[in-house]
């Protein structure tokens, strides 16, 4: 049990669909992250929230839209995705941003865009 949960675990969607990924952390952390993990590639940081405020947006296409209503919940809204967006989407949290704070990861959502 890592303390970070993600739903759904698997998602298949067409390019015209709209769906949302949900992440919840039960660790009392202040920072939350969305990552994309593609096969044999490094983890790609997408978004960072610290105390509910977005602090990083690493040139992510607008078809990905994050939402952080409170410090425990993080959403990733998806619309008009492309097949190359198929990947594992990982949510993580850390006590704070800064040196030595390790990130705790959820199990991920395996997304397939058809």
Partner 1 sequence: GQNIDQPTEMTATEGAIVQINCTYQTSGFNGLFWYQQHAGEAPTFLSYNVLDGLEEKGRFSSFLSRSKGYSYLLLKELQMKDSASYLCAVMDSNYQLIWGAGTKLIIKP
Q: Which of 22, 43, 60, 63 binds partner 1 (CB under 8 A)?
A: 43
**66 sits near partner 1 (criterion: CB under 8 A):** no
Stretch touching partner 1 by CB under 8 A, among 13-21, 63-71, 74-82, 97-105: 97-105
DSSP class per residue in the chain? --SEEEE-SEEEE-TT-EEEEEEEE-S--SEEEEEEE-TTS--EEEEEEETTEEEEE-S--TTEEEEEEETTEEEEEEES--GGG-EEEEEEEESSSSTT---EE---EEEEE-
Instruction: Please report how close the Cβ of residue 21 comes to partner 1 at its closest, in angstroms.
Output: 14
Task: List interacting residues with partner 1 (CB under 8 A).
Answer: 2, 4, 40-43, 45, 48, 56, 90, 97-100, 102-108
């Amino acid at each position: 049990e890592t303390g970070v949960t993600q739903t759904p675990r698997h998602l298949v969607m067409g390019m015209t669909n709209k769906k949302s990924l949900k992440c919840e952390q039960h660790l009392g952390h202040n920072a939350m992250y969305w990552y994309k993990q593609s096969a044999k590639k490094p983890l790609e940081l997408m978004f960072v929230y610290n105390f509910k405020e977005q602090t990083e947006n690493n040139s992510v296409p607008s078809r990905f839209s994050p939402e952080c209503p409170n410090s425990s919940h993080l959403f990733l809204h998806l619309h008009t995705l492309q097949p190359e967006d198929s990947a594992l989407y990982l949510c993580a949290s850390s006590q704070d941003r800064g040196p030595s704070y390790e990130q705790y990861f959820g199990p991920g959502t395996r997304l397939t865009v058809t």
